[in-house]
Structure 1
């Protein structure tokens, strides 16, 4: 990556961080405005993992802004860039960590935990300590949330798994947003294992650092930790007050996962203390948060399905357009393009199966006279009729095409049960069918079209088969028309 590309990537990273800071501060309108400006700006010249990292960062931002379809689209685009790549280095870890966050949000919780562990392992192969710290915080925070839903003995083990990860992260970054996120999650883990004094010191340090920066995401975690501590200490009034502060800041930052967790805990604390009104209010918030999560997921799924439907429709239209381009509109047969695109496969299969290919070239005799006498509309009707007669005398897998004007081609292969030269047999059937057909309804009584046919065979190309059949057709014309001639193999 050149210096200009590197500078563009650095600028994109700076802008993405600014969006996240605005989201964490609860400044959603400003975050949306800046985010919209970034969407069309993906620096050129990036390696796949670096590009995927930018796209997945933006997917997380879109998710936090509740722009779910866009989040899924960005995540899918980022993942498709690196689907076949072996994850290695900081950009890969960054991508995986954020994908894990999104998987957690859409309900793939087991997968999110697994991918979080992989992100940490991959981050250790890179040289960006902040991305390693971010991966450690992501895994530690996910473990904390898991522990909150487990029985006490299992929860203690899960909290203790998170602690060394968060401590390692704190040893890597000493300030900034990531330091705050690690500090907040560390306090939650300590509270979970009962180290309440240390947990309170960490929670108050988190609040002290987060408030001047306006980081409501970190303050919500800090208040939640203090609420947990007071609940364990048997001080429900303070637990409720801190719980409400945690819920309020989680609402402001549009973090539905935090809001669901905190409002449920607040409802439990209110119930334990006999505060039925507070419990009802917290449960309403919890139900509302769950409904919001469900509605946004349904919206995302609905729009994803609609996009898939449109993609399928576009694919079908493209296929139909391709088929139309290879089909003669007058007769419904394949046209020259259709024959030329189909022939190589048929010839290759014939050679592989040790079967002989045959080309039957059909030309309507004196067709100009038919047009002059009956008119072009009647001439077109006659060509359509001949196309039907040719189709009726061929097998389902034979290729039938209108080559040009009043010329038709049949490309076919013989089979083990064919005792006679199949191309000659089919050609004679077609000639006879046209000759004995009742043309009165189409052309009246004055015109009876016939056809001359040239036949060629051999393990050859379409061009050679056509040239040989054309030579045989010329002989049929010269020898009186309404007849079949076969090219004599050399």
Structure 2
């Protein structure tokens, strides 16, 4: 029984849309809502922005514009994942979201969100918003009590009445008070206080008629119908229930229409009014179909949003992968090496092992490009990349550093891991059949520098570079190993 009515702090255009809805002026409400949603909420407090977006989602929901309602709700909900503290706008946003959760059938989440909205509103010290949240919680508890087993219902009605009584002491807005009064009268009826319930409902109905508020009229007539039924006056009860259904239809409130039409059908059945019962059941079925279609629409949109999100995630992963991958060889590029190396080095150090860095440079590669062409040179680099992957383990990090230079980072299982792998790489390149790639052009070889030491990429690279320079200077097509790095001397 959560009444979709905002506190006085809501933006005037949104408030006017809601007033038109509650007066049953749906075409006018739709036209004004189009103008409202064409303007974005002002930047500023994120909670206020969230409250405005979810309030608008409620309006879209009641207008039957389900995809727009879900879109606005999702956008507004994104700010509700962090601590709300004592922000009154946060309480308002949570209350509005609970209304939508209730509408799509997520009742447990709805009641939890309503309780949270009351807690936040209470901490905020904002009396009007607290009254608003209490009305939402009390009204929803009324519906829970109606559906509850007979032995449980009185306690739930009592809790609802306590919320609504407190709300009535706080609320000053006229329409908000009407919502509280209507819900409170239902709680009283559920607690067995029929005379008091009738008194409050009658007062609510008179004030609602004066204000042109069909939402409050619907609730008041519904409560009065229940009182008349309990007094064994089915004719009066049927008349009042029919008025409640008519008002619920006028304001396009599906949840109220579903509840009220079922009660009307039951009254007609008791009076053997088969025509009236059938008409009421048709309304109930139509309302139920609307709820089902709403859920289907929501599920369809949720699936589509998930599909788009998954596609976007895949594109993001692909873009990230492309940024760290060398397009020619398929190996990690320099950025990929710099991102992945710290993880491998930390893992190696945690196992008590010493990492090795193998720096590979292709000998006389400029001559290969000059004699065979750049296409053949690119093919040769791809062949070398394949050989590197073949001679290394799956968890070793193999990268193209730049041009004709490659890097292999090893976890170091044994004291001679680096030199052993380096020699395998050199021999594989030296023994490879290059005829298909380069024809009769001089086959390439590689010079390799190897270093072991601390788990720091820059120190390992610097030491391996010294060894590589030595391998080049001493005739190429060879492996040179730099002595272990003394970290203390380097950092000192």
How high is the TM-score relative to the length of structure 2? 0.89
Instruction: Indicate if the aligned counterparts of 1:260 and 1:289 stay in contact, CA closer than 8 A.
Output: yes
User: Deviation at 1:294?
Assistant: 1.4
Q: Which residue of 2 aligns with 1:385?
A: 383
Q: Specify every segment of 5 or more residues in structure 2 that has no aligned partner in the other structure, as ranges.
A: 1-6, 486-492
| Aligned pairs (5 A) from 1:138-157 | 138-152=136-150, 154-157=152-155
Partner Cα separation in structure 2 for residue 291 and residue 390 of structure 1: 64
Range with bigger deviation, 375-384 or 111-120: 111-120
Distance 1:184 1:462 in 2: 72
Matched, 1:45 2:44: yes
Superposition map of 1:232-251 within 5 A: 232-251=230-249
2:451 is aligned to 456
1:180, CA displacement in angstroms? 1.1
Give, in whole Å, the separation in 1 of the partners of 2:243 and 2:374: 86
CA contact (8 A) 1:68 1:297 kept: no
Q: Which residue of 1 aligns with 2:157?
A: 159
Change over 3 Å in CA distance of 1:290–1:444 after alignment to 2: same
Alignment partner, residue 277 of structure 2:
279
Is the 2:132–2:167 contact (alpha carbons within 8 Å) kept by the matching residues of 1? Answer: yes
Q: 1:108 aligns with which of 103, 106, 109?
A: 106
Which range moved further: 296-305 or 240-249? Answer: 240-249
Moved more, 475-484 or 224-233: 224-233
Report 1:307-346 matches (<5 A): 307-346=305-344
Task: Tell me which of 462, 465, 481 is aligned to 2:476.
Answer: 481
Q: Shift in Å at residue 174 of structure 1?
A: 5.1
Cα contact 1:12–1:42 (8 A) shared by 2: no
Distance of 1:123 and 1:373 partners within structure 2: 79
Aligned to 2:488: none
In structure 1, the residue matched to 2:467 is: 472
User: Aligned runs of 1:50-89 on 2, under 5 Å?
Assistant: 50-85=48-83, 87-88=85-86
The 3 A distance-change label for structure 1 pair 11 and 175 is closer
**Secondary structure of the residue that 2:433 maps to in structure 1?**
coil
Gap change, CA 1:248 and 1:441, over 3 Å in 2: same
Unaligned 5+ runs, structure 1:
1-8
Cα 1:123–1:341, aligned 2, differ >3 Å: closer, same or farther?
A: closer
Task: Tell me, in whole angstroms, the C-alpha distance in 2 between the residues paired with 1:174 and 1:339.
Answer: 65
Report the Cα distance in structure 2 between the residues aligned to 1:193 and 1:432, rounded to whole angstroms: 91
Distance 1:208 1:231 in 2: 21
Q: Report SS of the residue matched to 2:123.
A: coil
Change over 3 Å in CA distance of 1:155–1:359 after alignment to 2: closer
Give the C-alpha shift of residue 411 in structure 1. 1.2
**In 1, Cα distance between the equivalents of 2:84 and 2:410?**
48
Q: Deviations over 1:91-147 (max 9, x none)?
A: 343333333333322223244334434433443333322222212222221222223
Matched position secondary structure for 2:361:
strand
Q: Number of residues paired by the alignment?
A: 478
Show CA shifts across 1:447-483 (max 9, x none): 3211111112211532232222222222222221111
CA distance, structure 1, for counterparts of residue 167 and residue 361 of structure 2: 82
TM-score by length of 1: 0.90
Measure, in 1, the Cα distance between the counterparts of 2:51 and 2:218. Answer: 27
Corresponding residue number in structure 2 for 1:437 = 432
Cα deviations by residue, 1:423-468 (Å, 9 ceiling, x for unpaired): 1111111110011111122122343211111112211532232222
Go from structure 1 to structure 2 and tell me whether the alpha carbon gap of 1:287 and 1:350 turns closer, same or farther (over 3 Å shift): same
SS in 2 for 1:45: coil
CA separation of 1:471 and 1:164: change in aligned 2, threshold 3 A: closer
Q: CA, structure 1 residues 64+361, in 2 after alignment: closer, same or farther (shift >3 Å)? A: same
In 1, the alpha carbon distance for the partners of 2:35 and 2:24 equals: 19
Q: Hey, what's the Cα distance between the residues in 1 that align with 2:317 and 2:454?
A: 31
Q: Using the TM superposition, give the Cα deviation of residue 157 of structure 1 relative to its aligned residue in structure 2, in angstroms.
A: 4.1
CA distance in 2, matches of 1:163, 1:10: 23
Contact 2:244 2:260 in 1 (8 A): yes
Q: How far, CA to CA, are the matches of 2:407 and 2:151 in structure 1?
A: 80
**8 A Cα contact 2:269 2:277, kept in partner:** yes
2:426 aligned with 1:427: no
Question: Equivalents in 2 of 1:403, 1:84: separation in Å?
Answer: 43
